Each structure stands twice: as structure tokens, then as C-alpha cells.
Amino acid sequence: MLQDAIGEEELFIVGLTLSDSMLPKVTVTLDGPTGLAIQACATVSRRLARRIDEHYGEDSAYSLEVTSPGADQPLTDPRQYTRHIGRSLALKLADGTEKTGVLTAATPEGVEIEEVIKQKTKKTTLPAAFYPFADIQEAKVVISFK
């Protein structure tokens, strides 16, 4: 139903959760190559609500939220990386190491970042290194207010 509600929009599903409470809450998290406009959220929400009502009946009780990932949310889909090229990423790798640097490239296999190492009062930027998605446990965009 959700894929059908997305329709021709260039969006992809980042998350789908259903709470187990008295009033079930369906939370859909979507993203797109250039982000997600509020109008797209509203359109998908109306379409999905219509499909749920058609399938389960209009008397079914639920809460529906269609949203985009917040700025503090980790990147979970390889398609999310492309629009963040040029921004700083913080990576937690499967081996426990952490890397922070500028995202210089994103491919279907992984990402390339120029790691920035801080030593006392000096910053050093290392040559770009490639990290496959299989090795990335978590990736977050580093928010800067400069």
C-alpha cells in the first residue's frame, strides 16, 4: 500500500513502524534525492490513508504520520548519501573505529570521505578513503552552525 501511495514521486522508504498500542500509530519515514517537501508528505499521507481505509474499512482506528528523517537521524539507505556530498559525516565502523570527514563521493557500494584528524590546535585532512556500506555501522551528517 505504501509503495502504491508513493506513486510516481522520486521517493524511497527509509522506515516504517507500527506501534502496538490501543490506537495503532503508523509512522512512515520517506526521503528523496533532494530531500522531502512537506507537500510530498501530505500527498503520500492522503493516498496511504485512502488505501488503508479501503482495505480495513473507514471505521478502523489508527494514527498516521508521514515524515522525513530529522537532521540528527542516521543515514540508513545508500541513496541518502548523494545529496550530502561536500558535507561532513561521522562514521561508526563495524570494527569500532570512528571516522569524521567530508563526504567526497557516494556509490552504490559505499562512500569516500576525507578524514579530518584534530591534533592539539591543528587539523589535518587525510587523503580520501573508501568505506563500503557493509563496514558502516552508523553514519550521521555533522551539523555545523558556522
115: confidence class by pLDDT, cuts 50, 70, 90: very high
Residue range 10-45, pLDDT digits in tens = 899 999 999 988 888 999 999 998 888 999 999 999
For residues 68 and 33, is the Cβ–Cβ distance under 8 A?
A: no
Give Cα separations from 74 to 15, 38, 79, 129, 145 (angstroms). Answer: 12, 20, 13, 20, 19
* Per-residue pLDDT at 126: 87
Residue 145 has pLDDT above 80, yes or no: no
Domains of the chain: 1-67 (3.30.300), 74-141 (2.30.30.100)
H or E element that contains 13: strand 12-18
Considering only CA atoms, give the Rg of the chain: 19
* Per-residue pLDDT at 22: 83
Residue 139 has pLDDT above 90, yes or no: yes
Residue range 70-111, pLDDT digits in tens = 888 999 999 999 999 999 999 999 999 999 999 999 999 999
Contacts of 14 (CB under 8 A, 6+ apart): 29, 30, 31, 69, 76, 77, 80
* Per-residue pLDDT at 70: 86
For residues 24 and 62, is the Cβ–Cβ distance under 8 A?
A: yes
Dist. CA 75–CA 80, nearest whole Å:
6
Dist. CA 107–CA 131, nearest whole Å:
10
- State the DSSP code for 142: P
* Per-residue pLDDT at 59: 76
61: confidence class by pLDDT, cuts 50, 70, 90: confident
* Per-residue pLDDT at 133: 96
